[in-house]
Structure 1
């Protein structure tokens, strides 16, 4: 058996629950480690002061925009490679992976350069003031410079997941988080001959951890596992494969970029209530990333399962896997909400000692996480539509979610009831869009099943 064949896990047969559980648990472990250390990062920055914490909160929509492009490209990469593995074409999978690595590096480098050149007007547009702009500049200068080092491991991990390996990506994420957490206090506050760098130190710590992951992932997928071809394709082949990746990747990236755009709008709304509201909202966004870890892990392991079964013409298994995940996340996220609601005061005090910020963090926790299960339905539906090679439907769902429901209802709630109205409006929006997402997926899957039946009769 070749190295490529031994590296691939067949998801077109066997018990669905066991397959998804076996893939999700290691991914969840890696994400818990990574996200926990991201919260540690926020904790250390919060010790510098409210303006520093607010500055990093302003950066979240911008950094997530760049990351969203990579997420979209990784979705396109995973969908193509998993389908190729499902149909037994390993050579195509290796070529697709190589083109994806170069394509993501080119596009992210261009986007980061534009972001760096337009940094000040961009953040002023979002509501940043002279109190926070110097800290934003310190943080984002290093972040933009090292962005390609962050993106390449994301694409490499998508290659591994498409082959059914979620253990290695989880270890990669955990290692990156550990390195970042160790370096954070050293570079932020100084240690021995290393001077205190403040917010800038937090960004440098991240770039160093990305550089380690960058080196490891390339060695693993190109040299050791041989899941990706080495070198660079001819321009004609690179363009041909890139078009296939972008057919899924661009709509997926667009859908992902809508989230930071909506976050930027809500951050601007929060800025009208002062730095305390922005700081609390930034902390809340990071708490959300921890609270939704299981959903995020499933959103990475369900798509390869869906795409491999699509390639193997097993749409019945696709529907069974989707339904299993939806039922689970609704129960799980409600249990998470109860835990967060009970510990809200402790969590708030951990991130801030200013009463105004603490109070707003508590209200964020008491209101928004109640809808995280419904939000999970939307996230899993979106990722499954991309895995079914229906990216435009996933994009349309994201547009409806964010700009027909989420932002307008949250904005209206803010106008009527202030900061708490924003929180309540966001919760209400998740109720409506979850039902739409579920029905949208069922209709799409039924259409594919009918097409498969017609094609089968024709043959």
Structure 2
């Protein structure tokens, strides 16, 4: 029976993807390469999004103000994520090229410069966040009660941002080196610990009463810090081609400048997204804590399904970068089109789930009917653009894998700043659609973003990028 043999081959390949083995992604079968890269990346992103969902599940038991605190803090902390992801893009693009060229020594030196750069920025951001936590929440429109409840949570999250930053950029380096299984294991370790620690530190156990909302922040920081220690062990143990040796531990200003040049585009993409997210959250805050809570729940659930799609898209970035380094441009393009097709299929299925069962998913996270209605509405409307989202994600990751981080930034500015924010504001305030108007603007603008990204990819200028 041929189907049985095919199934056995697939399961064998699936096992290989999870266990992990260094491959030459410039030579092996493209479909095989996509599977070997995407499976650990998808599992990595599933754990990241699962933690976000579990976290909001437990925090939701503390009430609307606690949910609002997490939502408002996250809207600002996403700036740190943006910087981390931007540096991670530089890590992925530069190490992808070096691995495509088989220059492993330079790859190790690049990884060390990335640690210096990312660590320095994270310390500065941590100090600012710790000092101005209350002002940050107040600026985001939080009520005095939310500020009183959540300032401690915000301080701890900012203080622990070094772990967030390093987690992003080292995993970016692992992906660039074709080691997605190490990135996967890192997030399974760190977020697995988060999930275990969350209820214990929030609610306590036995005679230990827990820390309430601050316990969620402590759990997150602890889990991610241990994840970073795991990453550093694998960067320094010399068991992989990507390794930091004593000879690599030399400050290189030229490499730092190159990291800054590439990461600015990556930071720009996500900082633009972050500013948009801050503005949208600020608009949502005008409609009260229930609106913020519903908005937060809906997007935690939406991210749960988008993270695996990001994982699949990241496979395209790796294949584009390494194949460009090996001067195999046609192979890079084929990888992108195949990955985009798979992503569209996956998110098309997810769209049906949210449209049909969005109200059920929302009810799992809060007993408050008003919050449930807002969250359910967000799921059903935003998911209508999911097929476009899936294609757009792959196009953006293809640009980033090629080292062209600036093109997605320009597209983000045009669509998210000059269209999504004004559209959300006018639909919500002037047309009195409130949360419905905000969700419509998100679905429409992200779909348009995908189509524009596809057009720029087809033009092909990204293939001329030098890294």
**Structure 2 length-normalised TM:** 0.90
Match of 1:454 in 2: none
Contact 1:68 1:256 in 2 (8 A): yes
Match of 2:438 in 1: 422
Structure 1 residues 253 and 337, CA, compared in 2 at 3 Å: closer, same or farther? same
1:401 aligns with 2:408: no
Residue by residue over 1:96-128, the C-alpha shift from the partner in whole angstroms, topping out at 9 and shown as x without a partner, is 011111111111111222222232222222111
Residue by residue over 1:39-91, the C-alpha shift from the partner in whole angstroms, topping out at 9 and shown as x without a partner, is 11110000011111111111111121111111110110110011011011111
Spell out the pairing of 1:69-218 with structure 2 (5 A cutoff): 69-218=83-232
Match of 2:4 in 1: none
What is the aligned length?
Answer: 443
Q: Distance in 1 between matches of 2:289 and 2:322?
A: 47
Which of the numbers 216, 228, 236 marks the counterpart of 2:243? 228
The alignment's C-alpha RMSD in Å is 1.9
Contact 2:236 2:245 in 1 (8 A): yes
Structure 1 residues 445 and 322, CA, compared in 2 at 3 Å: closer, same or farther? farther
Contact 1:283 1:361 in 2 (8 A): yes
Spell out the pairing of 1:27-426 with structure 2 (5 A cutoff): 27-225=41-239, 227-230=242-245, 233-235=249-251, 237=252, 239-415=253-429, 416=431, 417-426=433-442
Structure 1 residues 150 and 375, CA, compared in 2 at 3 Å: closer, same or farther? same
Contact 1:34 1:176 in 2 (8 A): no
**Structure 1 length-normalised TM:** 0.92
Contact 1:368 1:426 in 2 (8 A): yes
Q: Distance in 1 between matches of 2:282 and 2:266?
A: 25
Contact 1:98 1:230 in 2 (8 A): no
Q: Which runs of 5+ in 2 are unaligned?
A: 1-19
Q: Distance in 2 between matches of 1:149 and 1:109?
A: 10
What is the CA-CA distance between 1:183 and the residue it aligns to? 0.7
Q: Distance in 2 between matches of 1:101 and 1:446?
A: 27
Spell out the pairing of 1:5-20 with structure 2 (5 A cutoff): 8-20=22-34
Match of 2:11 in 1: none
Secondary structure of 1:292's partner?
helix
Contact 2:41 2:308 in 1 (8 A): no
Segment of structure 1 superposing worse, 439-448 or 257-266: 439-448
Which of the numbers 430, 433, 442 marks the counterpart of 2:458? 442
Structure 1 residues 168 and 446, CA, compared in 2 at 3 Å: closer, same or farther? closer
Q: Distance in 2 between matches of 1:379 and 1:404?
A: 20
What is the CA-CA distance between 1:137 and the residue it aligns to? 1.1
Q: Distance in 2 between matches of 1:114 and 1:183?
A: 27
Q: Which runs of 5+ in 1 are unaligned?
A: 1-5, 452-459
Q: Distance in 1 between matches of 2:196 and 2:335?
A: 38
What is the CA-CA distance between 1:373 and the residue it aligns to? 2.3
What is the CA-CA distance between 1:8 and the residue it aligns to? 4.5
